[in-house]
Amino acid sequence: MATKLYVGGVSYNTTDQGLQDAFAQAGNVTSAKIVIDRMTNRSRGFGFVEMASEEEAQKAIELWNGKELDGRTLTVNEARPMEERPRTGGGGRDFGGDRGGNRW
Looking at the predicted structure, is the pLDDT value of residue 7 above 70? Answer: yes
Q: What percent of the chain has pLDDT over 90?
A: 74
Look at 91 and 49; give whichever has higher pLDDT: 49
Judge whether 82 and 27 are in contact, CB under 8 Å: no
Return the half-sphere exposure (C-beta side, CA atoms, 13 A cut-off) of residue 65.
11
Length of the chain measured in residues: 104
Is 90 inside any structural domain? no
* Range of the structural domain that residue 57 is part of: 3-78
Is 94 inside any structural domain? no
Q: How many C-beta atoms lie closer than 10 Å to residue 32's C-beta?
A: 23
Which pTM was predicted? Answer: 0.77
Is 71 inside any structural domain? yes
pLDDT at residue 77, rounded to an integer: 96
Alpha-helical regions (H) of the chain: 16-23, 54-64
Q: How many C-beta atoms lie closer than 10 Å to residue 22's C-beta?
A: 21
Q: What is the CATH number of the domain that holds 10?
A: 3.30.70.330
